[in-house]
Amino acid sequence: MESCAKIVAMAIITVVLILNILSVLIINRSIIILNTQIENTLTASVHRYGNQTETSIKSLFISTIGTQRTLNNLILEGAINPKK
């Protein structure tokens, strides 16, 4: 009977150890996947906001150029007298 109890105890300990090892492996794999996803998300955000900033600056320059052309046209047509 004693040897049977030892075998059962060893089997239980072995199963618990295997489950613990599997849990650690699953947790490590999950951490790696999450870190990769976070890194990809941050990279995508940097590119997206970088593109938005570039677009905003281009829009500002285009608007400024358009305003300057409008003022130049008004000056040429005599609607605005730059000497006043």
pLDDT digits over 13-32, tens only? Answer: 999 999 999 999 999 999 99
CA dist., res. 78 & res. 83, Å (int): 11
The per-residue pLDDT of the chain, averaged, comes to 87
Whether this prediction's pTM lies above 0.75 is answered by no
- List for the chain the helix, strand, coil content (%; round to 5): 90, 0, 10
CA dist., res. 74 & res. 84, Å (int): 14
DSSP 45-70: HHHHHHHHHHHHHHHHHHHHHHHHHH
CA dist., res. 30 & res. 35, Å (int): 9
Tens digits of residue pLDDT in 30-73: 999 999 999 989 888 887 777 888 888 888 888 988 888 888 88
